[in-house]
Structure 1
Amino acid sequence: MNKQDLLSSVSKFNQLKILVIGDVILDAYYKGEVSRISPEAPVPVLDIHTKDYRLGGAANVALNVKNLGASCILCSVIGDDDAGKSVSGLMQDEGLDTSGIIQSSSRKTSQKTRMVSGFSQLLRFDEEITADLAQKDEENLFHRISTLIETHSPQAIIFEDYDKGCITKSLIASVIKTAVSKGIKVTVDPKKKNFFSYTGATLFKPNMKELREGLNMPHLKSNDIDLMKAYSSLQEKMQVESAFFTLSADGVFITDGDEQHHLAALNRTIADVSGAGDTVISAATCALSVGMDLKDIATISNLAGGWVCQFPGVVSITQSDLLAEINKSL
């Protein structure tokens, strides 16, 4: 596509309905100042000035999808706890639909808390349960997803897997079977545990670390020959329509076996790569759903993922941000 066609296609994101299924994370940032060392142990004492809470994991993907213009419903199981209440409140503040959220007393909402002084992260501590969902919770989640598919007729479903237990192998199989029967596109941002469970997906998007670990190819390089070998190995174990590999400083690579495109990363000042993968899968899914071809999917996603890396912390991109990036960069 030329620039004008890309701009027009991105504007069509407003017509989309997308479900996001995955692990919700509450990202917390405790910011302050270190002025002394503790007398109890040789560790810094952080005087906390502010506490900032943000939507992370699958919730950040949903926020990206919504800010890109699509109608989005997040489907997940969170705990009936303070962190879960914070997630629900943040979703409401952001205008995100909460009808796909199930609160369970047997679950703990994942929270990742960073202790930050100036521009330095001193410590992160995690509070979460990473075991698979209890059977009843999984059944409730699939029933909710099935109902939303019937009532909302989404064009696409995103699996955002952080290995926190919300996405199980049986849930994946059931959802993909339903999606395929209804012509709904399925895109995947995988992690290690369920890496080969997504047979039938439309687009599979691991980063280089996930690709090396998933395929047990620790010496995999980001040249086209190696990446096509990785694609072939992937297809031997799991059949997907297309694969989209994010390669950090080496850009992105997309292929369906017949065609392949390797796009270089744009020259930017990088502040933080946190959440970039969330933005990429969001943009790629929207682009796929409005009928963009592989090269244009990679182009749009590369721009979007690079844009969020310019800012500290987990941030999302808006449709106007993406349109401005297209105008500036292409």
Structure 2
Amino acid sequence: MNLEQINNLFDNFGNFSVLVVGDVMIDSYLWGKVERISPEAPVPIITSTKRENRLGGAANVAMNLKYLGANPILGAVIGDDEKGRLFLKLMKKRALPTEGIVQSKHRMTTIKTRVISQNQHILRVDQEKTHELKGQIEELFIKQLEDILTTKKIHAVVFEDYDKGIITKKLIQRIVQLSIRKNIPTLVDPKKKNFLHYDNVSLFKPNLKEIGDGLKIDIEKGSNESLFDAAKILHNKGIKYIFVTLSERGVFISNAKKFASIPAEIRDIADVSGAGDTVISIASLCLASGIDMKNIAIISNLGGGLVCEKVGVVPIKKELLRKECIAYFNKNGKAH
């Protein structure tokens, strides 16, 4: 991509509205110091110095989209509880719309508490219920999503699936079918339970372990050909692009006919939390922009790498990513 194409791409992000559907949570960080070992058990005692609550899961994708200049709408079900009220407060603080949020007395708002000392994770505690949406609440939520897709101009739909029960097979089928009728691209960050239910989506983004587990096959480590053979199984389900994140090896992307492999940039990795959310956020805007398969992978990979340099689940800013893209394409002789 040349400089004009890069700037046009980033300048147009503000024209896009993206519906993010999926499991949301509060990422709570408890920062402290380890000063001694407990006399009660061989575990460290943390002297707490600070607590911070952040939007997590699908809400972090929405946050990433907002930081990139786009207009996210989050569709999720949370508990009608104290943590749910905290979640809505965090949404409003970040100026994110709450029209797609449904509260239910039959669910608990997920909160993941990470205990951190000297930039090292010591412990994580999860409070959640993961039963699948059913009956009246499932239908209410699906109709709310359908109403958003029908009444608003949506440019992409992202399914952010954490296997917490919000995304059901029925929901997937109805939202994908409606999106296809309205010519809206659909992207998926999958987990195991619904892995094979996302027929006919535009872009499917598992990591290497998820694609192997989801298809129940062994993928030869380091072999793009073996990975492409696995991707073909998903292409046969009508999926246009398979986009696999490979950690330190970078990313792989394919359509039914060819693949491309993009190596990771050398970075000082502080924390990989939230990198996948950043990648799918960027990919959704690139896909809505109509750029080619390889450049979707390159730009998304750059964003995922940038966020790994920061501690915690942190969204990436548009201008930082723009600068990184210009530097990358300059280095490769294509930004001028």
The within-5 A match list for 1:116-265 is 116-236=116-236, 238-265=237-264
Structure 2 distance, partners of 1:42, 1:308, is: 34
Shifted more, 152-161 versus 132-141: the winner is: 132-141
2:334 corresponds to = none
1:321 corresponds to = 320
Pair 1:306-2:305 in alignment: yes
Alpha-carbon distance, 1:175 to partner = 0.6
8 Å Cα contact 1:265/1:302 also seen in 2 = yes
Pair 1:72-2:72 in alignment: yes
Alpha-carbon distance, 1:9 to partner = 1.1
8 Å Cα contact 1:24/1:57 also seen in 2 = yes
Alpha-carbon distance, 1:234 to partner = 2.3
Paired AA for residue 280 in structure 2: I
Shifted more, 115-124 versus 216-225: the winner is: 216-225
1:21 corresponds to = 21
3-state DSSP of counterpart to 1:116: strand
Aligned length, in residue pairs? 329
- Structure 1 stretches of 5 or more lacking a match? none
Alpha-carbon distance, 1:212 to partner = 1.2
Alpha-carbon distance, 1:75 to partner = 0.2
Alpha-carbon distance, 1:13 to partner = 0.9
Q: State the identity %.
A: 45
8 Å Cα contact 2:156/2:186 also seen in 1 = yes
2:332 corresponds to = none
Deviation readout 1:42-88 (Å, 9 max, x if unpaired): 32222212111111110000111111111110000001112211211
8 Å Cα contact 2:219/2:226 also seen in 1 = no
Paired AA for residue 206 in structure 2: P
Alpha-carbon distance, 1:219 to partner = 4.0
Alpha-carbon distance, 1:260 to partner = 1.9
Paired AA for residue 63 in structure 2: L
8 Å Cα contact 1:10/1:287 also seen in 2 = no
Following superposition, which runs of at least 4 residues in structure 1 exceed 4 angstroms of deviation?
A: none
3-state DSSP of counterpart to 1:227: helix
Structure 1 distance, partners of 2:227, 2:3, is: 28
Structure 1 distance, partners of 2:277, 2:46, is: 30
- Aligned in 2, Cα 1:219/1:243: closer, same or farther, shift over 3 Å? closer
8 Å Cα contact 1:132/1:168 also seen in 2 = yes
Structure 2 distance, partners of 1:79, 1:211, is: 31
- Aligned in 2, Cα 1:111/1:218: closer, same or farther, shift over 3 Å? farther
- Structure 2 stretches of 5 or more lacking a match? 330-336
Paired AA for residue 51 in structure 2: K
Alpha-carbon distance, 1:274 to partner = 0.7
Paired AA for residue 80 in structure 2: D
- The Cα RMSD (Å) is 1.3
Deviation readout 1:73-110 (Å, 9 max, x if unpaired): 00000011122112111111111111101111101011
Paired AA for residue 256 in structure 1: N
Structure 1 distance, partners of 2:55, 2:268, is: 24
8 Å Cα contact 2:24/2:78 also seen in 1 = yes
Deviation readout 1:293-328 (Å, 9 max, x if unpaired): 101111110111111011111111121121111122
8 Å Cα contact 1:73/1:96 also seen in 2 = yes
8 Å Cα contact 1:212/1:220 also seen in 2 = no
Alpha-carbon distance, 1:205 to partner = 0.7
Paired AA for residue 131 in structure 1: H
- Aligned in 2, Cα 1:56/1:220: closer, same or farther, shift over 3 Å? farther
Shifted more, 1-10 versus 96-105: the winner is: 1-10
Pair 1:295-2:294 in alignment: yes
Alpha-carbon distance, 1:35 to partner = 2.2
Structure 1 distance, partners of 2:93, 2:174, is: 32
8 Å Cα contact 1:61/1:282 also seen in 2 = yes
1:112 corresponds to = 112
Shifted more, 130-139 versus 216-225: the winner is: 216-225
Deviation readout 1:20-50 (Å, 9 max, x if unpaired): 0000011011111222333333322222121
